Amino acid sequence: MEAGDSAWADLAWTQSGTDAVHSRHLKVTPPAESRSAVLNFDRVVDWGRLQVTALADMPPKIG
């Protein structure tokens, strides 16, 4: 990948437990970078935990 290219990853989380927290933002730092981007992420997340797949240079196929 080159500077300015897009990268894709799948995020997964649950929102059913009593330990869920309301998140407003998601901070993303690409591999081998020191600068981050803050994205809007208005979701309820159990224990504040997300699971993420490896980065890819194309969006995932659905279906």
CA distances 42 to 32, 38, 39, Å, are 27, 12, 10
Number of CB atoms found within 10 A of residue 53's CB: 11
Number of domains into which the chain is organized: 1
Residue 29 in this model has a pLDDT that exceeds 90: no
Asked whether residue 38 is domain-assigned, the answer is yes
DSSP assignments along 17-41, one per residue: STTEEEEEEEEE--TT-S--EEEEE
Q: Is the pLDDT of residue 2 over 80?
A: no
In this predicted structure, the answer to whether residue 54 has a pLDDT above a threshold of 80 is yes
- pLDDT at position 42, please? 92
Q: Does residue 1 lie within any of the structural domains?
A: no
Residue 6 inside a domain? The answer is no
Question: Average pLDDT of the chain?
Answer: 84
In-domain check, residue 29: yes
Domain membership of residue 8 (yes or no) is no
Q: Identify whether 61 is part of a domain.
A: no
Q: Which of 22, 7, 19, 15 is nearest to 56 (CA)?
A: 7
- For residue 46, give its domain range: 21-52
Q: Name the token pair of 38.
A: 């803050």
